Chain A
Amino acid sequence: MSVSDLSSFTPASGPTVRAVKDPFHGDLLEVSMGPQHPSTHGVFRMVVTLDGEIVVKLKPVFGYLHRNHEKIAENTSYLGSMPYTDRLDYLCSMSTNWAYALAVEKLSGQAVPDRAQYLRVILAELTRLVNHSCLVGFLFNDLGTSFTPLLYAFREREKILDLFESLSGSRMMCNFQRFGGCRVDPSPEWLAAASQLVNNFPRFLDEYEMMLTGNEIMLARTQGIGVLDAKKAVNAGLTGPVLRASGYNYDIRKVDGYGFYPRFDFRVPLGAHGDTYDRYMMRVLEMRESVKILQQAFRDLPAGPVMDPKAKIRGFRPKPGEAYGRIESPKGELGFYLISDGSPNPYRYRVRPPSLINLTLLEEMCLGHTIADSVVILGSIDIVLGEVDR
């Protein structure tokens, strides 16, 4: 093949790298990162304008995983949307289920038995352990420690997923919460196994932290990188560990006191600088608090039914009205807004995804840093594209 044959090659539509000129910076380079990129955590795309290696402009492009979740839910019965909520944030299906069940229970005025409330706390906090340990693994992947911390994180994740599987029948897509309770009552053996796992979890955390927290490269790559001001974070509506890393105390478990969270004794860790390192430490400290909550829940779990006997499953038609149910999912405030017109389907179904709203300040955090740091900052925000694009 000669060089002249190459003329038939046509470049992809929409250039991925092009030179742009800027009156302030001079010659710049515009690079399209994603949607296929190993460190964009899925099919996310960033159009980054670079001055040398420094990011001067960053434009996120969404929608590569827009699966019409809300539209499908408006054409499905209330319970029929429950499996779709699993796929919304596919790392934490148990807590997403809870947020949706909470919204529907608010809409229909459905009571939830005590045992189910405790179970929900147990499952949501186990999910938090899964999410945060995996997030730390992925964050270190972005930092360049190819795969090793992730192997440790997934080792713990598999243990928790085994529990989920034996309880609900599925590893990832649990589809476990119902309006008015939970689907299955766990056996005493399950509770004993879960309790043992939780009691052993701090040992894993110690091991993990021993390897990662004081690491010199980690400190150099994360401290002072991607600093986010608390005021800006509040104005943009950021929630979850990203907001708390900036030092603003806002945890819906404390603010709303939904479920039985007011019965538990736990603290909300707060950051001081709002940099990537603080966001990492938030996750580690939150896992330690989750372990405390879980130990209390296993201690106090009451006997009784897990499903309200008056709960209506077939022919479920809530009265016309609207409701907004929100929980502190591992990523932030996850809310479901529902409008009922008295039919079996919701008239309007809206998800308030924490990942998407936390992403809005990505450019703010990345400006002035190198392109390698923007990858780490994105990793520290903790996004799941199923939730961002829905």
Chain B
Amino acid sequence: MSDPQSTPAPLPGDRPGQTPAGQQAGTVQPFPAAGNISDAEREELRRHGILLTSLEELYNWGRTNSIWPLQFGLACCAIEMIAAATARFDIARFGAEIFRPSPRQADLMIVSGTVTKKMAPQVVRLWNQMPEPKYCIAMGACAISGGPFKQGYNVLKGIDRFIPVDIYIPGCPPRPEALLNGLMELQKQIRAETLSGPAQGRHLRPEMPSEFPVPEYGAHDLQPPKNPEVWKPTAPLSRPTKA
């Protein structure tokens, strides 16, 4: 792969309509190889038995269709996660049926259920033990925000305070179909990741951390209670003041 600094940053969607701003149309792009061929032309070639692709597409195609989740259930949502793996919903259709008990072999962490303050350090540690590229799905209201147990003194108000979350699936618990939808959204995200350029995958950027500090189970709360590097909430909507 060429150095992204020395070449004009090419976007990988490899369609002429998607050339990034500042790049003249018509210049030969060094990468990807299939950059100047339209979908129609590719389809024409495919009909003649010639499969044309780029390294990036091949890379993403492989990663997208073999996401191995971590076999890791926390609470109620874990049962729906298991249900998604069984015959009726069959997560194997999306290549994600191999639930790995070891974080070292997993690509995806499905945080399925309430994360308590006692459990949060272990969840972060598991995330740190997973190799890049790795993705996180927050499944259910509890993993997103604490859900119905938000007022509990022992409940973490969302796992995104400590690790970056790619997909949020609301529901209490979300149906298995919702999990499958979340997985498909994640696949879309992975397909859009590029080997270089602004849409480069997180795991390829050296400045992006892959491990996060593990909080301590302190006397009153987790120490620290949140990781400001990760958790950047948007400002709450201001209510209209009474005139």
The answer to whether B75 touches A42 (Cβ under 8 A) is yes
Contacts of A68 in B (CB 8 A): 149, 151-155
Interface string of A307-338 (1 = CB under 8 A from B): 00000000000000000000000000000000
Pair A172/B79 contact, Cβ less than 8 Å: yes
Task: Judge if B175 is at the interface, Cβ distance under 8 Å.
Answer: yes
A241 CB within 8 Å of chain B? no
For B152, what are the chain A residues with a Cβ–Cβ distance below 8 Å? 67-68, 71-72
Known contacts A43-B119, A72-B149, A84-B148, A65 near B79 by CB under 8 Å: no
For residue A259, CB closer than 8 A to chain B, the reply is no
Majority DSSP secondary structure for residues of B touching A: loop
The CA of A239 and the CA of B210, in the complex, are separated in Å by 47
Flag B133-160 by CB within 8 Å of A: 1 or 0 each: 0000000000000001101111100000
User: B68-96: which residues lie under 8 A (CB-CB) from chain A?
Assistant: 71-76, 78-80, 82-83, 85-88
Whether a CB of chain A sits under 8 angstroms from the CB of B125 is: yes
Knowing A67-B149, A72-B151, A386-B75, say if A154 contacts B172 (CB, 8 Å): no
- Closest residue on chain A to residue B121 by CB atoms: A13
CB pair B154–A67 under 8 Å, yes or no, is: yes
Known: A64-B116, A68-B149, A68-B154. A87 touches B76 (CB 8 A): yes
Given A64-B116, A65-B116, A90-B149 contact (CB < 8 Å): no
Contact A67 B88 (CB under 8 A): no
B173 within 8 A of A: yes
A37-B101, A154-B87, A154-B88 given as contacts; is B151 within 8 A of A75 (CB)?
Answer: yes
B192 contacts the other chain (CB 8 A): no
Is A99 part of the binding interface, using a Cβ–Cβ cutoff of 8 Å? Answer: no
Minimum distance in angstroms from B175 CB to a CB of chain A: 7
B-chain residues with CB within 8 Å of residue A171 when the two chains form the complex: 80, 175
Is B154 a contact partner of A66 (Cβ separation < 8 A)?
A: yes
Q: Are B116 and A42 interface neighbours, CB within 8 A?
A: no
Whether A71 pairs with B153 at a CB distance below 8 angstroms is: yes
Whether B75 and A385, one on each chain, are in contact in the complex, defined by CB atoms closer than 8 angstroms, is yes
Q: Which residues of B contact A65 (CB under 8 A)?
A: 74-75, 113-114, 116, 119
B171 to chain A, nearest CB (A): 10
Q: Nearest residue in A to B103 (C-beta to C-beta)?
A: A36
Do A173 and B88 touch (CB < 8 A)? no
Closest A residue to B153 by CB, please name it.
A68
Binary contact readout B167-181 vs A (1 if CB under 8 angstroms, 0 otherwise): 000001101000000
CB distance from A135 to the nearest CB of B (A): 12
Q: Count contacts on B: residues with CB < 8 A to the other chain.
A: 37
Q: Which chain B residues have a beta carbon within 8 Å of chain A's beta carbons?
A: 71-76, 78-80, 82-83, 85-88, 101, 103, 113-114, 116, 118-119, 122, 125-126, 148-149, 151-155, 172-173, 175, 214, 216
Contacts of B173 in A (CB 8 A): 90, 172-173
Can you give 15 A-B contacts (C-beta < 8 A)?
A: A35-B119, A43-B74, A43-B75, A43-B119, A64-B118, A64-B122, A65-B74, A66-B118, A67-B149, A68-B149, A71-B152, A150-B82, A154-B83, A172-B173, A173-B172
Check if B73 sits within 8 Å of A42, measured CB to CB: yes
A387, chain B: closest CB distance, angstroms: 11
Does any Cβ of B come within 8 Å of A158's Cβ? yes
A-side contacts of B113, CB under 8 Å: 65
Residues of A near B83 (CB, < 8 A) are 154, 157-158
Nearest-Cβ distance from residue A70 to partner chain B, whole angstroms: 10
User: Hey, which chain B residues are within 8 Å of A368, CB to CB?
Assistant: none
